[in-house]
Amino acid sequence: MSAFVKIESLLGEPKPNYQKIWDLQHTWAERIAKREAPEGIIFCEHEPLLTLGRRAKSENILAGDLPLYEIERGGDVTYHGPGQLVIYPLIRLNGENFPEGIHSFLRLNEKVLIHILKNLGLEAGTYGPTGVWVTSKRDRKIRKIASLGIAVRRWVSYHGMAVNVTNDPKDFAGIRPCDFDSSIMTSLAVEGVLISLSEMKSLLEVAYLEAFSQLRNHTLVGKLDLTNQCDEILRISSSNSK
């Protein structure tokens, strides 16, 4: 199923692990560029920390009690921590599949997650700033559920997307995420979708492989039904909330 894109799940990786996985991205991206390794997707969860993108503003860091990493991705400051699923796609951004380069790739990542969130019963979409947003079930306000920042090395993507799954949005209180007040953040758990990181990883794996197979004209063998998986998660979530 994943012969053309290697899936690397590091969800059980001992923490702290950020530096190790950052180094892994550098090495893997370089090998992809040299045609020495397959493209891939890393799924992981990090220890509490802040990353500063190329456009980070110091005034958006409100507390200095977490490790800081200045990294290559675009965007401002963001928070990573337990309960958040981080996805690092390492993909060749050839012009045939991504005519607008990194912008086309950003939109693909957003569409993959939006498709899943809609199947999980959330009103998800993009509302201007990069990332994925939902209309909150609590107060009908638009809130951010996933942050997205990409870097490119020799036309291979790295860094990626952080999806708030079971983490508490209050974890963002030490920053102003992309110039917004931290109250703009939400998570699947807060929005009433009770799903584990492993379950969310499984949904994203299927959705990404389907998206990339369509781009590369590959046929997936044993393709899983994403809609049925989402329906089952919602059924269990509803049962557990009663």
Catalytic center residues = 178
Q: Tell me the DSSP string of 101-158.
A: THHHHHHHHHHHHHHHHHHTT--EE--SSSSEEEE-TTTS-EEEEEEEEEEEETTEEE
Contact 37, 5 (CB under 8 A): no
Q: Considering Cα of 61, then 66, then 67, then 69, what sign does the dihedral take?
A: negative
Contact 223, 210 (CB under 8 A): yes
DSSP conformational letter for 175: B
Contact 189, 165 (CB under 8 A): yes
CA 113 from chain centre, in angstroms, equals 8
CA 59 from chain centre, in angstroms, equals 25
Burial class (CB in 10 A: 0-12, 13-18, 19+), 217: exposed
